[in-house]
Structure 1
Amino acid sequence: MRRLPVYLAALATLTLAFAGTASATPRSHWDATHPRRAEVNHRLSNQDRRIHQEVREGDMSHREAARLHRDDRQIRGEERAMASQDNGHITRAEDHALNQQENHVSRQIGQ
């Protein structure tokens, strides 16, 4: 009979421990496949492919390609920094800003 309060106390402690862990999980989740992030990252990889193609075809110098790759790395870094502020998500405004930067690099690839 004296063991019952000890078991109940242990059960209550475990219940609270699991409840605290379950509620912390969504906040610490890093969503690398969020649709806006996926769109930005897909565009960056497409631009990377286009830069390599332009160099192969002789339409772009290695120096120009290196500069464009550096611009893309900077955009990717911004995307990661923005996502780290909101559990792996980027806002519409952040998505819009990143897309404008990607558009600028994309136009430079096509010139």
Structure 2
Amino acid sequence: MNTRITSLHKTLLGAFALGTLLVATSAQAETHWEHVHPRRDQVLDRTQHLNRRIVHERREGELTAAQAHDLHAQVRQTHLEQRAMAQTNGGYITRVQQAGLNQQQNAISRKIGP
């Protein structure tokens, strides 16, 4: 009986480990778009992260509604600039453009707080 339980535990642990590995690799897998547009993907990931931080800080009471609204507007503006840049460059943004957008996002990040 003890050997049977140990075998069952090993089987369950193996299945759990395999499931965890599959979830981890699928979560890290890039989409085709992310692979083809890495600079845009990085800027858009930061855009999402900034918006989440603004919402979090607003919920925590660190930002007023007006401050959160203003910061969301600034994030939206960088997003629109990124789209306009990509439209003029065949769907891509250059390294220089990405650096400029990153500087704008850094300024917004400092306004959000730590």
What TM-score do you get using the length of structure 2 for normalisation?
0.68
Structure 2: distance between partners of 1:86 and 1:99: 18
1:58 to 61, 66, 75: 61
Structure 1 residue 32 displacement after superposition: 5.3
Whether 2:89 is the aligned partner of 1:86: answer: yes
Aligned residues, how many? 81
Gaps of 5+ in 1: 1-30
Gaps of 5+ in 2: 1-31
Does the 8 Å contact 1:37/1:90 carry over to 2?
A: yes
- Equivalence for 2:41: 38
Structure 1 residue 65 displacement after superposition: 0.2
Does the 8 Å contact 1:32/1:88 carry over to 2?
A: no
- Equivalence for 2:4: none
Larger of the two Rg values belongs to structure: 1
- Equivalence for 1:95: 98
Comparing both chains, which one has the higher relative contact order based on Cα–Cα distances under 8 Å and sequence gaps of 6 or more? Answer: 1
Cα RMSD (Å): 1.4
Greater helix share, structure number: 2
Structure 1 residue 81 displacement after superposition: 0.2
Partner deviation per Cα, 1:25-60 (whole Å, 9 max, x = no partner): xxxxxx953000000000000000000000100111
